[in-house]
Amino acid sequence: MVRGRLSRWFFIALPLAALAVAVAHAAPPAKPVTATEMQNNTRITVPPGGALVVRLESNVTTGYSWAIGKNDPAALKPLGKPVYEGPKKAMPGTGGHQLFRFQAAGADGTDATLNLEYKRPFEKDQPPARTFTLTVHISK
């Protein structure tokens, strides 16, 4: 009877111990690569499966906002909708930032072009007031 209980504990404890060792030795998740207006028209590297955050100045009180103009979601998978960060000091007319999050879904060695456009969505025939273009190289 005691032997049966011990063998059951052994079969439960052994996989749990192996899982604890695997978690302890697992690499921490990579910090997201962040791109700002300083990286406009440049090339950056993001590891396969890694995260890319694009953080651009925006003032939604003017009707302008950033939108994806060009992107290959098979290479750079959007992670949710853009998020607006308001200004730290909420003064009328003060702008904040828009954040876009992507996952590098392409294979190692893939180059993807991301183009964002700053425009008023209701002005269909107008060109964007600003553009942001980034070449993302997916590599370890």
pLDDT digits (tens, 9 = 90+) for 46-63: 999 999 999 999 998 899
Taking 80 as the threshold, does the pLDDT of residue 126 lie above it?
yes
Taking 80 as the threshold, does the pLDDT of residue 113 lie above it?
yes
Calculate mean pLDDT across residues 26-44: 85
Do the Cβ atoms of 56 and 97 come closer than 8 Å? yes
pLDDT of residue 137: 97
Pick the closest to residue 98 from 136, 76, 67 (CA basis): 67
Calculate mean pLDDT across residues 85-107: 87
Q: Given pLDDT bands bounded at 50, 70 and 90, which one contains residue 16?
A: very low
Looking up tokens 């063998």, which residue turns up? 7
Residue 37 CB contacts under 8 Å (≥ 6 apart), including other chains: 56, 57, 132
**What's the distance, Cα to Cα, between the start and end of the chain in Å?**
54
Class of 29-138 per CATH?
mainly beta
Domain parsing of the chain, residue ranges: 29-138
pLDDT of residue 15: 53
Is residue 48 classed as helix, strand or coil in its secondary structure? coil
pLDDT of residue 1: 56
pLDDT of residue 78: 97
